[in-house]
Amino acid sequence: MTRENPADLLPELCVLGTAVTGLLTGSFLPRTRQWIVAVLCGTGLVAGLVTAGLAARRADLTTFDAFMLDPLTHVTRIVVTAATLLVIGLAAGPLRGHRRESEFHTLLMLAALGTIVLGAASDLLVLVAAYLLAGIPGYVLAGFGKDAPGTEAALKYYLMGAFLGILMLAGVTLLFGLGRGTSYETLAAGLGTAPGGAVAVGVVLLLAGLMFKAGAVPAHFWVPDVTEGAPRVVAAFVTTVPKIGAFAALYRFAVQALPPGRDDWPLLVAVIAAATMTLGNLAAFAQRNVRRLLAYSTIGQAGYLLVPIAMAGRTDLAEPALLFYLAGYAVTNLGAFAAVIAVGRDDLLAYTGLARRSPLLAVSLVVCLLGLVGTPPTAVFVGKLLIFGAALDGHYTWLAVAAAVNSVASVFYYLRWIVPMMRRRDGGGERRPAPSARWIAYAAAGGSLVLGIGAGIPLAIG
């Protein structure tokens, strides 16, 4: 008997409800009081976070035949709502009194909703719908500034998204035909007897869309341009939040939809992972713009995140590794972007002397950047530890070694950013960094440390 209880989707309904209410309220509010919409969205996200937290204590179940409620979904919900909450906090400064402030928040909420559904869907058709819901608001947000770089970013983002989305749709069609169904349960049963080559083609086509969302090679071309061209707050959002859903969806597909015993999946994903981390890290070397640097760093991070996807089902460490790394990555990456928003400048030279101008902000940024390297005791360190463990336990030693070598290489470009901060000269960033972004940078750096030191608690629960 199918379970169809709307209460199971309470966190999603909270997000959707505030998105709709926000849009309606925003239409009737004068421009000076549009901040009410931001508060409304924030409240909705807090409600979503609380209900998601409460739901996480229940046993696993499937609802509406297409929506799995398991640790993967719970963590996706919690991380996405928390990360979106941070983004709304970041937006408080730059968007206060903007002409389209309420639209911005509504789009943000819809993209977050799409991301959660992406991670929770256990049916290919819902997956496609979620892909679109998570994507289209993102395209609009990328061009939100209505300037030339923003338009270029939006166009590039949209064209790639549409193209790879169509490939994904073709993959879904193929898998539907081969597996005689779209739900993961049916697929797992049906694909086992289907011709292997055709299944492989279908899976690769499906991967195209999800790799685009994850920002992995070879679908990564949008990442640097969007990160550089879109408004900074949007850059922080699109390099962090949609990825969470994409990786959850990839993991879920690997574990639940692929028939057990296929050994081409780990190899395929492992190769993509190695390529992604290597390319991201090497391309970041020469960047002089911190946003492009962070963009390539997120590509590198996507490479590490693909490691547990490749090891899905091969080791018990894969799921905690993925979930913990996602949470750690989200808070650390947002922290770095918060520091960029607080300083308000993009060129590396503007960070010269930051340690003197605002020591606490500099320390937060250093914690976040070293966190992205994977220095203990930050959250990403624990994630990396689990990822290395998963790769070694899954007998992919070369992948663990590749990830380790890449981590060392990544130190180089993060240090290129850190070193000028300690110089005496003044690079002339903003005199008074934006207060809300500054506080969020502190909070994110602290959160990254707390999550790393207190790693035992979430891991024990999850």
Partner 1 sequence: MLSLVIFLPLAAALGLCAVPAPGARTVVWTWIVACAADLALVIALWIGHGNGGGISYEEKVRWIPSVRAAYHIGVDGLSLPLLALTALLFLVCAIYSLRRPPQVRAFAVLFLFLQTVSSGLFAALDLLLFFVFFDLSIVGMYFVIAGWGHGDRTRSALKFFLYTFLGSLALLLGFIGLYLGAEPHTFDMVELTRTPALAGSPGLAGLVLLAIGLGLAIKTPAVPFHTWLPPAHTDAPAAGSAILAGILLKMGTYGLIRIAMPMLPDAWRRYAWAIIILGLVSVLYGALVAFAQEDLKRLIAYTSVNHMGYIVLALGAAGAAGEQAARRLAVTGAVTQMVSHGLITGALFLLSGVLYDRAHGYDMGRFGGLARAAPVFSGLVALGAFASLGLPGLSGFIAEFQIFTGVIGGGGPGLVVAGALAIPGILITAALFLRLLHRAVLGPPGELTSQVTDVRRSELAAVAPLLALSAAIGVAPRFLLDVIEPVSSAVVALVAR
Q: Which residues bind partner 1 (CB under 8 A)?
A: 320, 370, 375-377, 381-382, 385-386, 388-389, 392-393, 400-401, 404-405, 407-408, 411-412, 415, 419, 422, 455-456, 459-460
Q: How far is the CB of 294 from partner 1 (least distance, A)?
A: 20
Smallest distance, Å, CB 392 to partner 1?
5
Min. distance of Cβ 409 from partner 1 in angstroms?
8
Q: Please, which residue, 26 or 394, has the CB nearer to partner 1?
A: 394
Q: Which is nearer to partner 1, 17 or 376 (CB)?
A: 376
φ/ψ region of 321 (left if φ > 0, alpha if ψ in -120 to 50, else beta) reads alpha
10 Å Cβ neighbour count for 271? 14
What's the rounded Cα separation, in Å, for the pair 393 and 380?
Answer: 19
Closer by beta carbon to partner 1, 59 or else 460: 460
The radius of gyration computed from the CA coordinates of the chain, to the nearest angstrom, equals 21
- Ordered alpha helix ranges (H), 96-147: 101-120, 124-142
| CA quadruple 165, 170, 176, 179: dihedral sign | negative
Three-class SS state of 347: strand
Residue whose CB is less far from partner 1, 169 or 382:
382
Return the H-helix or E-strand segment holding 164: helix 148-179
Q: Please say which residue, 298 or 375, places its beta carbon nearer to partner 1.
A: 375
Contact 265, 254 (CB under 8 A): yes
DSSP reduced 3-state for 239: coil
Minimal distance, residue 385 CB to partner 1, in Å: 7
Minimum Å gap between C-beta 318 and partner 1 is: 13
| CB of residue 84 to partner 1, shortest distance in Å | 27
**Toward partner 1, which CB reaches closer, 146 or 395?**
395
Residue closer to partner 1 by CB (options 172, 390) is 390
Name the residue nearer to partner 1 (CB basis): 126 or 379: 379
The CA–CA distances, whole Å, from 46 to 13, 23, 39, 264 equal 12, 18, 10, 41
Q: Where are the alpha helices (DSSP H) in 374-434?
A: 379-393, 397-421
Residue 61 — φ and ψ, nearest 5°?
Answer: -160, 165
Q: 314 near 399, Cβ under 8 Å?
A: no
Q: Kind and range of the H or E element at 78?
A: helix 71-95
* Smallest separation, CB 404 to partner 1 (Å): 4
CB of 411 to partner 1, least distance (A): 6
**Cβ–Cβ under 8 Å, residues 361 and 335:** no
